Amino acid sequence: MRNFLQLFTLLALSFSFIFASDYREIKEISLKKDEQKKILVKYANKEKLFNFRWTLYKNGGLVIFKSYDKIVAQNVLYLRHENQSFRVELMPNGADYGNLAYLLVKFKEFKQESKEAVFEIFLFDKKEQVLLEDLKN
């Protein structure tokens, strides 16, 4: 039984390293209500603007408005729920379908005293084709 547990632990650890997400960059930001976060996305001689903001925090749900590449959307994110984040694909699908660059924006915390939402922004870009630039509001 002991050997089985050791083997199971070894396999579990090795699989976690194999399937670990390899993000290239991480940023943590705090936003007040209706404060916009603007990020300029640069790749292959193209520049596109990604921005998002939150408008309402009610019953543990945070209402987000986002836009990227002329696509506007709304999400509701929750802290203790499956729906903690949203994904933004930065480049169009092409021949290199499996290696798409994307942003993952995760709702991390809501600070009641300052009425700020805290987010983590992850950049997944295996081929290092994308450059992010924070823009002042």
One DSSP character per residue, 50-84 reads EEEEEEEEETTEEEEEEEETTEEEEEEEETTSS--
Domain ranges of the chain: 22-135
Region 22-135: CATH code: 2.60.98
Which residues lie across from 71 on neighbouring strands?
Answer: 68
What integer pLDDT is reported at residue 16 of this predicted model?
41
In tens, the pLDDT along 62-120 reads 999 999 988 999 999 999 878 899 999 998 876 565 668 899 999 999 999 999 999 99
Tell me the average pLDDT of the chain: 83
Mean pLDDT of 30-54: 94
What integer pLDDT is reported at residue 32 of this predicted model?
97
What integer pLDDT is reported at residue 2 of this predicted model?
60
What integer pLDDT is reported at residue 98 of this predicted model?
63
